[in-house]
Structure 1
């Protein structure tokens, strides 16, 4: 079943335009017919004129001109069909990459969480490139050579059916070699692809975390691990090369020599009986050489087919992942009122629910904070509210409508997120704020002011046109958070989600972020996951999550009236940690 689906993925797009394919094959057949005519013309001259002793110039010149014309037309036809096959191949790969990337863009967050970035990049680039090799180097070669073989066999049959039957023995022998090669090389080719993807993933991780690797003096460990992967990939490739060298050209050469010996023996027997012509022998030897080369090319190209089938199976694994369901309700969100009724969520392959029995109503304009220990489901709840993850049970409503029924455009216009690790491209500050959208200058200025990012823009040497570098390394962690906040506010959302936005920033930036949240209060619905409780003490409501359930709900003052409560414990624990940190900093200043 999988092999059939892989075959359909690989070759299905080629037949998407049957007229284009038919014209290309027709040109190929015409060029091949002219190509095959060459040895037949030579045979005709040998047996009709040269052997009988007719050495007139006129037949020789005529046949020579016809020979040159047929070969020139054949070369032109092969050139045109190769261009057309290459065009079909490149169009097919283009459409496949578009389909794959479009699919990846709509996969749920859980898929991206469990899939290494480097491995996914390898599938979109390396694996689709393997398909390009299939179409360009394999498909055109195989189709062209199959047509050439058919033409040669027909020409042989017209001259001597008995000798043609002997020469045709090469074809089933080559088919058996190809089958045997595929059976033996499949596991090795799969291992090569898997190791290549893992190599890309480890390389991506190493480059992304180079600062930490060098700071912790782990360069040797990473180098040795990469060397192990590299060596394993090398050994897997060597095994495929050995199989290719043993089963493809070498075996076929041996069989070709054996068939030639049988052909010469048969011709010799016919010659003794007086029934063979020298021109036929010349043509058959020439055709036999022409038969051997197409068969060798076909068999040697089958390693590309093997790699492409492995790559196709890996691409199917991505395409089989279920996308986030997209609704059809395109009515805009008016109030942004959330209602959660017995909502639960479980990650794939997990044994227990991450969130259970969540009953919650979030009124428009509410400042809601979510706190709790690590693993309690805070970020998961934000993902559900943003529509990044589908709920596993219950109902999640926005303005009385199922959240999953809304179109991505409606959700994108109503809900904006500020993640803990902001996404920053290596382009300009303006590009990072707009992300391809178009807004008027006044709207951009308002977003910068609301996020307290305007002073940063004024300090930058080129203002909004300043390039931020890879992952925004020219900005501090806090400045990247303010950038993410401005980007979110630029869309004028009804709901603003902040996931641990203050976890890694300095106290000065935290103050700016608190001021921004204070200014936004009442204008948008704010749902904030916070590690620093000082950020959310002014929240209208604070939810305390523990083991995926809401265990406490109330304002800061209300929750502190319960000494036995989880929030009371968290508040005093974080306050003690802050006091200890301040004392340590003061001691360091005095020491200096």
Structure 2
């Protein structure tokens, strides 16, 4: 499900890292050879050994730069692709999962999970490749001197691998729990920061503070537990590394006493062992990075495995625009409904509280998944059309689709199609958005998220104008408190007389029947038994039956 790290030519960076490891191994051999040459009594002023030694040091330093930079380059290119994939997935979620992307989890995926994967590539995988090649070369060199030196280096490191595996299982569980509790806190804080007026209005800051304190304490406990296991793992690795070096040096001293290796080789061996100790220490967090990467990948795979919005193949609507509902229902929200909306219909949607008015409009707009029945668009199942075709022809005006933070112009032009200045001016005039007392800076007036700095009437008129600039064939006007505003009622009256497409108005104000002579009455879910007797099919209503 996740893209491969080495796909799309990213393997080239991996080859460069491998080449860097090989080059650094060669440089290390040259450096050791130079050291052996010096201790064996080379000419002190001979330029060749000293030149090779200096060159080896330069290449070793340059290799660290190449390793760090290209590992970061590989990681960032992969994270860029992965981040894009997560964001695109959040936009293509099925209607039932729309709220999943807005509960703090997406933020955690785009930050914490991406950081964990990046750390694994830069501080785990790349050093493993480079230092792993060093280790292989060092092991081969030691085996050539004597097999006991190879055993002294290899056995403790195998013990380290086994110990990291056993501790890593606990670290994985604790990392999962830590991520879950961090996600809970992020979701809670995100929700409460958006609802500060509600918290203050009901005098609940103390309650929310206590709740945050409990979540923060649980998060702290999880972090402490994970830190304990991580610290134990690092301590174990450090002890094994030191034991490895002592074993290696002790074995070398034993071989020297047996006259198997000379004192000069012993000095070179100690120098190489100390240098190798510093490099292997970089791998002490390897398993920790890998564990965090596994947790991040598990959560990302779960998210990317969610069902996406099913896209049809039709790119355009043929024939006369018409929407037909055939026994459409949503479990526990909307009883079966059968209606037809013609190209120039003016329908007044009414029903008691809980009858499913908003659900019905959202289902027609493709934003709510229906449990049964069919919605036909120009005699074709609406599922056979691409989502962009549906959004072009059907536009919903609802508080469910709030305003964005930014300028008024940015909000109005969001999704606008085939627009010119004349269209923009006409829509602004129709929706009464040219009043300097309401919008002092005109189209450059700044809006807060959701239009928090505007009146309900102005918010609704902006949302209506935004929908009209989409030039839809069907306009769905959901129930809103702004309908009680005389300004909004006047705008809707003018709209009903000038709009070329169909309108479904969900409102309950005086004169709404004059605006929309057709009626669409819904019955609540609890009254489902009598719903069929009250349904009026639109074709019959239009014919006066």
Residue 403 (structure 2) aligns with:
424
Residue 545 (structure 1) aligns with:
523
**For 2:240, which of 237, 255, 273 is the aligned residue?**
255
* Structure 1 pair 76–115 and aligned structure 2 pair: CA distance change class (3 A): closer
CA contact (8 A) 2:24 2:59 kept: no
Alpha-carbon distance between aligned partners in 1 of 2:81 and 2:215, rounded to the nearest angstrom: 32
CA contact (8 A) 2:427 2:465 kept: yes
CA contact (8 A) 1:38 1:71 kept: no
Q: Which moved more, 1:378-387 or 1:331-340?
A: 331-340
Query: What pairs with 1:22-421 in structure 2 (closer than 5 Å)?
Result: 22-37=14-29, 39-45=31-37, 49-50=40-41, 56-59=43-46, 61-113=47-99, 116-248=102-234, 250-332=235-317, 335-346=320-331, 354-421=333-400
Q: Which moved more, 1:461-470 or 1:487-496?
A: 461-470
* Structure 1 pair 33–205 and aligned structure 2 pair: CA distance change class (3 A): same
Q: How many residues align?
A: 533
Query: What pairs with 1:456-471 in structure 2 (closer than 5 Å)?
Result: 459-471=438-450
Alpha-carbon distance between aligned partners in 1 of 2:65 and 2:244, rounded to the nearest angstrom: 32
* Structure 1 pair 304–263 and aligned structure 2 pair: CA distance change class (3 A): closer
**For 1:441, which of 412, 416, 421 is the aligned residue?**
421
CA contact (8 A) 1:167 1:288 kept: no
TM-superposition CA deviations, 1:15-64 (whole Å, max 9, x none): 332552354134323332234225522452256x23xxxx53244x4222
**For 1:476, which of 450, 455, 472 is the aligned residue?**
455
Alpha-carbon distance between aligned partners in 2 of 1:176 and 1:201, rounded to the nearest angstrom: 38
Alpha-carbon distance between aligned partners in 2 of 1:295 and 1:534, rounded to the nearest angstrom: 80
CA contact (8 A) 2:404 2:451 kept: yes
Residue 503 (structure 1) aligns with:
481
* Structure 1 pair 382–505 and aligned structure 2 pair: CA distance change class (3 A): closer
TM-superposition CA deviations, 1:98-134 (whole Å, max 9, x none): 1111111111332123665323322233322332222
* Structure 1 pair 143–265 and aligned structure 2 pair: CA distance change class (3 A): closer
Q: CA deviation at 1:196?
A: 1.4
Alpha-carbon distance between aligned partners in 1 of 2:308 and 2:368, rounded to the nearest angstrom: 10
Q: CA deviation at 1:313?
A: 1.6
* Structure 1 pair 537–140 and aligned structure 2 pair: CA distance change class (3 A): same
TM-superposition CA deviations, 1:472-512 (whole Å, max 9, x none): 23311221111000000011110111222x23565334423
Secondary structure, counterpart of 2:240 in structure 1: helix
Secondary structure, counterpart of 1:193 in structure 2: helix
Segments of 5+ residues of structure 2 without an aligned counterpart are none
* Structure 1 pair 428–494 and aligned structure 2 pair: CA distance change class (3 A): same
CA contact (8 A) 1:15 1:21 kept: no
Secondary structure, counterpart of 1:474 in structure 2: coil
Q: Which moved more, 1:65-74 or 1:365-374?
A: 365-374
Q: CA deviation at 1:219?
A: 0.9
CA contact (8 A) 1:336 1:364 kept: yes
Secondary structure, counterpart of 1:452 in structure 2: coil
Q: CA deviation at 1:211?
A: 1.5
CA contact (8 A) 1:324 1:390 kept: no
Alpha-carbon distance between aligned partners in 1 of 2:295 and 2:512, rounded to the nearest angstrom: 52
TM-score by length of 2: 0.90
Residue 492 (structure 1) aligns with:
471
Q: CA deviation at 1:516?
A: 4.1
Q: Which moved more, 1:224-233 or 1:33-42?
A: 33-42
Q: CA deviation at 1:82?
A: 2.6
Alpha-carbon distance between aligned partners in 1 of 2:178 and 2:190, rounded to the nearest angstrom: 18
Alpha-carbon distance between aligned partners in 2 of 1:435 and 1:264, rounded to the nearest angstrom: 71
CA contact (8 A) 1:149 1:294 kept: no
Alpha-carbon distance between aligned partners in 1 of 2:251 and 2:127, rounded to the nearest angstrom: 32
Q: Which moved more, 1:505-514 or 1:440-449?
A: 505-514
* Structure 1 pair 130–477 and aligned structure 2 pair: CA distance change class (3 A): farther
TM-superposition CA deviations, 1:159-209 (whole Å, max 9, x none): 333212211123212211221221011121111111111211111112111
**For 2:430, which of 446, 450, 468 is the aligned residue?**
450
Alpha-carbon distance between aligned partners in 2 of 1:373 and 1:280, rounded to the nearest angstrom: 93
Report runs of 4+ in structure 1 exceeding 6 Å deviation: none
Q: CA deviation at 1:90?
A: 0.6
CA contact (8 A) 1:178 1:299 kept: no
Q: CA deviation at 1:224?
A: 1.4
* Structure 1 pair 294–70 and aligned structure 2 pair: CA distance change class (3 A): closer
CA contact (8 A) 2:36 2:264 kept: yes
CA contact (8 A) 1:32 1:151 kept: no
Secondary structure, counterpart of 2:29 in structure 1: helix
Residue 14 (structure 1) aligns with:
6
Q: CA deviation at 1:370?
A: 2.8
Alpha-carbon distance between aligned partners in 1 of 2:317 and 2:230, rounded to the nearest angstrom: 61
Alpha-carbon distance between aligned partners in 1 of 2:190 and 2:92, rounded to the nearest angstrom: 22
Residue 515 (structure 1) aligns with:
493
Alpha-carbon distance between aligned partners in 2 of 1:166 and 1:535, rounded to the nearest angstrom: 93
CA contact (8 A) 1:339 1:397 kept: yes
Q: CA deviation at 1:420?
A: 2.3
